Amino acid sequence: MRFNDAVIGLSLSVLAIMVLFHVDTFPSLPLQDVGPATFPRALAWVLLICSAYLIFNGIRTRKSKPAVSLGSWAYSPRAWRRLALVPIAVLTYTFAAVPIGFIPTTMLLLFVLVTDFSNGRWFVASMISAVFTVVIYLVFAHILLVPLPPGLLVGIFQ
Amino acid sequence: MEALVYALELVFVPEVLIVLFLASVFGLFIGSIPGLTATMAVALLVPLTFFMDPVPAIGAVVATTATAIFAGDIPGALLRIPGTPASAAYVEESHLLSKKGRLELALGSNVICSAIGGLVGGVVFILAAPSLAEIALLFSSYEYFWLTILGLSCAVIISRGSQVKGTIALVFGLFLSTVGLDITMGYPRFSFGSVDLAAGISILPALIGSFAISEIIRKVTTTDLKGEKIQQEIGNLLSGVGGVLWRFRLNVLRGSTLGTLIGALPGAGADMAAYISFAIGKQYSKEKNNYGTGHVEALVDSSSANNASVSGAYVPALVFGIPGDTLTAIVIGVLFMKGINPGPTVFMNTPEFVYAIFIMFLLANICLVPLGIMAIKLSRYVLSVPPSLLFPMILLTCVIGTFAVHNAVFDIWVMLALGIIAYLMEENEIPIAPMILGLLLGKLVEDNFMASAIKADGQFLEFFSRPMAAFLGILTIAIWVLPAIFKIWRSLRQ
């Protein structure tokens, strides 16, 4: 996903301006010109200058570079589905690992991901998800001695 | 001497040796899969190192990098796809050589030169680092401020593509480091009432997000996720390698030395070491015409350089706390996690730790030869593993590892957010390395800047008041200003 430089510059300049306004609310050291705002303020100014250059450059090349251009993969629904599955899997883990438990969550997520990525090889997916989950469980819980959330399996796996 | 004996005792224990072996196997596996980089391999290791003692933790990183950088040569020769960016410089030459029926010579030379390069780099590290550390002990906050800025400037200037984009990446990384309690007053900046944000952005999820999640996003959208089929038979890998090494002994030495020096430059990694050594090797070659037809000399120069650079990068990392590349940025992150602040005091207070790293370098590079040969022999099977099976496992390893370290859901969000940001940055030719270095060194820069500013009491010239600080300050300003002046000068003359 490629953006024209002007789009990047514009977004960054908005960020820099917001930072500049926000750091004005920070306190400063008694009898000193410097304080918690000094460093982020300096960074925001550098960011603003660089953004101005990007905006200028983006406008100059606007004919050859559209505001947003997606790669050729964007025409494939499968690529979009895989792309969506990455954050969905990550977020599902964050919400499900503690209540449901490490073992069922990992096994299920891996099964879904491998089945989708390998175009429906569910048998391979189920084997891999089982073996992987057990290996990771053993490494963390028994070698590194890191507790993993037991969830629904509390009392069975500690 | 006592420290050396103690270091040997630290390394030669079953736990460390097993970690070194497993990390080498892991590095060889990840490195030989096209698209999975050495940095990604190390980023995946970081959560595990969190739970280890400092020596095995650094040993795991050392062994993984040494082997992954070499392993990138394997698919290069077999499939013309570099396993890691460090092998990209000579992938063409290596593949052409294998098409001429000299696959064994190509891979055999790669493995031996990689090991020699790594060993030379390790020796330079142990010779140069302690004396540099003595100089570094004399540094005050002014010198540290300039040195860090110099290091970060190099990272921007060396990075490929637009320097403005490199600067943006660096500033963004530095900005991320300002999130959380400030150094001078303990004021929570950009936390918006969140306890997690007030604690700051941890380097660990940032590393995993930037180097692993971003790569997964790129690969799942653009590749067909199928395994590779290798038809070639692999025979005796060492036959003829001795002759090649003797014939091109100066190239091995030159590649290794150059690689170490390039590795020590902040921001310049193994890929750049390989590119530059390849170019210099070609420039001074007596058989320049053979380049581009599958010439073994090209492999000798650059495959020794990329492994040497890995060792070279440890010099500024351990002496000044300024990483030479993204890999040592991770090492510094690991050291911070272990409560060790890299810098000259490490050499004075815990010399056995420095020696232990050196010994592990030697061990990892010596073991690279038998393990590397084994990896080449098994490459047919490794390369046939389809990425459709690997990427989900890597994704979940990232999530589980990140979560396990602090049991914090916030870390996973940081990982995902930085993964997406890093993906978008790379798509738009904004380099990731300066961002990571900025995030890692931001606190150091601000700490030294604030200490110096308070000492200087508003007088900016005080930053140049000590001779070494003045030298470093002028050098930093010069590397930013001089190229611009030359550019204007050239355009005026035309």
Contact between chains at B189 and A40 (C-beta distance less than 8 A): yes
Substitution target from B400, B412, B457, B480 for chain A, most A beta carbons within 10 A: B400
Distance from the Cα of residue B104 to its chain's centroid: 28
| A68-69 and B188-189 beta bridge pairing | unpaired
Distance from the Cα of residue B212 to its chain's centroid: 14
Alpha-carbon gap: B295 to the closest alpha carbon of chain A (Å): 36
The reported pLDDT for the residue numbered B129 is: 86
- Judged against a pLDDT cut of 70, whether residue A156 lies above it is answered with no
Burial A29-47 (b: 16+ CB within 10 A, else e): eeeeebbbbbbbbebbebb
For residue A157, what pLDDT band results from cuts at 50, 70 and 90? low
8 Å CB contact between B61 and B331 = yes
Helix (H, G, I), strand (E, B), or coil: what is residue A156?
coil
Contacts of B165 in chain A (CB under 8 A): 54
Instruction: Break chain A into its structural domains and give their ranges.
Output: 2-69, 74-153
pLDDT in tens, A5-37: 999 999 999 999 999 999 988 888 777 778 888
| A68-69 and A2-3 beta bridge pairing | antiparallel
Phi-psi region of B202 (alpha: psi -120 to 50; beta: other; left: phi over 0): beta
Strand partners, B189: B180
8 Å CB contact between B15 and B27 = no
For A122, the closest chain B residue by CA position comes to B389
Owner of token pair 């984009």: B165
* A83 → closest Cβ in B184, B221, B389: B221
pLDDT in tens, B438-485: 998 888 888 888 888 888 877 778 888 888 888 888 988 888 888 878
Contact between chains at B178 and A79 (C-beta distance less than 8 A): no
Residue stretches of chain B with pLDDT short of 70: 160, 223, 225
8 Å CB contact between B387 and B35 = yes
Contact between chains at B184 and A35 (C-beta distance less than 8 A): yes
The reported pLDDT for the residue numbered B136 is: 84
Contact between chains at B172 and A47 (C-beta distance less than 8 A): yes
Helix extents (H) in B203-248: 203-208, 214-222, 241-247
The reported pLDDT for the residue numbered B492 is: 83
Interval A132-151 mean pLDDT: 84
Amino acid making up residue B326:
T
From the number of C-beta atoms within 10 Å of its C-beta (0-12, 13-18, 19+), residue A16 rates as buried
For A51, the closest chain B residue by CA position comes to B168
Strand partners, B181: B188
Other C-beta atoms closer than 10 Å to the C-beta of B286 total 7
The reported pLDDT for the residue numbered B414 is: 94
Taken in order B32, B35, B39, B44, the sign of the CA dihedral is: negative
Q: Chains A, B: CB contacts under 8 A, how many?
A: 157
Interval A45-64 mean pLDDT: 91
Residue spans of beta strands (DSSP E) within chain A? 2-3, 68-69
The reported pLDDT for the residue numbered A148 is: 81
Contacts of A94 in chain B (CB under 8 A): 399, 403, 409, 412-413
The reported pLDDT for the residue numbered B237 is: 76
The reported pLDDT for the residue numbered B407 is: 81
Contacts of B213 in chain A (CB under 8 A): 86, 90
Contacts of A43 in chain B (CB under 8 A): 171, 174-175, 178
Contacts of B225 in chain A (CB under 8 A): 117-118
The reported pLDDT for the residue numbered B405 is: 80
Alpha-carbon gap: B326 to the closest alpha carbon of chain A (Å): 22
pLDDT in tens, A75-124: 888 888 889 999 999 999 998 888 898 899 999 999 999 999 888 888 99
* A83 → closest Cβ in B220, B399, B415: B220
Is ipTM strictly over 0.85? yes
